[in-house]
Amino acid sequence: KTLFLNGRYLPEGEASVSVLDRGFLFGDGVYEVIPVFGGHPFRLDQHMDRLVRSLAEVRIPDPYDREEWIAVFQRLLEENPGGDRSLYIQVTRGVMARRDHAFSEGLSPTVLVMVSPIIPPDPAVLEQGISAVVLEDHRWSRCDIKAITLLPNVLARQQAVEWGATEAILVRNGQAIEGAASNLFLVVDGVVVTPPKDRQLLAGITRDLVLELAGEAGIPVMEAPIPADRLREASEIWLTSSTREILPVTRLDGSAVGDGRPGPLWARMHALYQDYKARLREGGA
């Protein structure tokens, strides 16, 4: 497996980063994950726009222009052939001379890009759905930035797993916000609802595509805050992310969501999404 680190293409086992890297010591960095289907990156412009925005928000200079980034991705995809894959991009503020919270002069960002296989969901997951638990959102107040600092997300996901669930739905001030690594959709009275973009959640690329595809198909959609007690009234709950697509949640805190089966609107959305991917594989999306 070849990865890209600071301008070099290296076997994974030979790549290393200093212990004084600010990513390692402070979690001072941002990242992006771009799925690649049939060799075609999924919504590349949107992912790159989000990376540029994350970097700007935390004041890390963008080390490359878009053509340079894309050249790195192309070379890595050539060197790591395979089926569906994802590109993981991480940029930290760089390596310090000594441990100091404030940015020091002359830092140059540490840039890592690597390719991983996408593991398709178990067919049982799409037939039966997943279970989720509701947890308090313990993250910071800039969840719109895709920061590598993921401790609250890690603890939430682990709590979910220990309770026999797949994902945690995070609640802040009585509002359901998103999953620990996914965006949240509800179906209430036949309308698909997702919380509006703000600093409390990550503006998911899959979320935007779901809204777009639903709109084109004439499925009613609405961006509105979701009070946590609405979760129990929803006939369907979905969680979306680049690597896990649209997952139907059929059990919430141990109780059935709707009739406990993946719902009809989920099935439509899932099919629309698979069509979109098929078009992308053929190079047309």
54 phi, psi to nearest 5 deg = -60, -45
Q: Provide the CA 100 distance to its chain's centre, in angstroms.
A: 30
Which residue, 146 or 251, has its beta carbon nearer to ligand PLP? 146
The distance of closest approach from Cβ of residue 1 to ligand PLP in the complex, given in angstroms and rounded to an integer, is 22
CB of 13 to ligand PLP, least distance (A): 26
Dihedral Cα 111, 112, 113, 118, nearest 10 deg? -140
Q: In the structure, how many helices (H) and strands (E) does the chain have?
A: 7, 16
CB of 212: closest distance to ligand PLP in angstroms?
A: 13
Binding site for ligand PLP (CB under 6 A): 178, 181-183, 202, 204-207, 240-242
- Residue 113 C-beta: closest distance to ligand PLP, Å: 17
Q: Closest distance between ligand PLP and the C-beta of residue 241, in Å?
A: 4
Q: Is residue 277 flagged as an active site residue?
A: no
Q: What values do phi and psi take at 111, rounded to 5? A: -120, 125
One-letter amino acid for residue 232 of the chain: R
Retrieve residue 93's tokens.
């503020």
**Hey, what are 150's tokens?**
């993921």
- Across the chain, the runs of DSSP E, i.e. the strands, are 2-5, 8-11, 29-37, 40-41, 85-92, 110-117, 130-136, 167-172, 175-179, 183-188, 191-194, 221-223, 226-227, 236-241, 245-252, 255-256
Cβ proximity to ligand PLP: between 154 and 271 the closer is 154
Closest CA to 210 of 192, 233, 188: 192
Residue 131 or 242: which CB sits closer to ligand PLP? 242
User: CB-wise, 131 or 240, nearer to ligand PLP?
Assistant: 240
Contact yes or no for 2/27 (Cβ under 8 A): no
Nearer to ligand PLP by C-beta: 207 or 277?
Answer: 207
Catalytic machinery residues: 146
